[in-house]
Amino acid sequence: MTSNIAELLNSMLRDEREYPVAAIFNSIAHRFREIFRKRYVEVDNSKTTFVPVAEKMLRENMTKGDKLYVNNINGSTNEFTVLGYGRSAKVNLSRRSCSYRKYDLVKLPCDHAMAALRLKHGDEYDTNIYNYSSQIYSKESYLLAYLEPICAAPLESEWSVE
């Protein structure tokens, strides 16, 4: 395993190094087409609302959020104080934010936001979590991202030189 993307691509293209540049680009395009095709099929066949990785994160955050205590001091329907593990967090559902910033950055309800959603929506809150999540994680968005084809570069023999 390597953390450097250039080293990773270099190792993937070890056999193609001596080929012309257009052939190297075609090899890269072919490999990425295959990876994207597999990802498309995997997500398209899933029975979830969001992509599997996002669904897993949501379920884990729901489990963690079930162990937290929620307080709604000011009576607002969107502002909550969440307590647990010796610390507190402020959650604002209308802004989709948490004072720990994970919700703000990842755009999926964190464990604190899940606890707030549980108080706001009761036992049926699991059906509302998608309304408080970014749609970039939806199956439709993901499938659209992988829909465009990757075009190969023309080989030198295909170029017309006059």
Q: What is the DSSP letter of 96?
A: T
Residues of the chain under the 50 pLDDT cut:
1, 159-162
Q: What is the pLDDT of residue 49?
A: 93
Q: What is the pLDDT of residue 136?
A: 95
SS3 of 88, please? strand
* 74 & 25 share domain: no
Number of H helices, E strands in the chain: 6, 4
The C-alpha atoms of residue 152 and residue 22 are separated, in whole angstroms, by 8
In a domain, 113, yes or no: yes
> Which domain, by its residues, includes 40?
18-47
Q: What is the number of domains present in the chain?
A: 2
State the DSSP string of 12-64: HTTTTTTS-HHHHHHHHHHHHHHHHHHHHHHHHH--SSB-HHHHHHHHHHHHH
* 65 & 41 share domain: no
* 93 & 129 share domain: yes
In a domain, 31, yes or no: yes
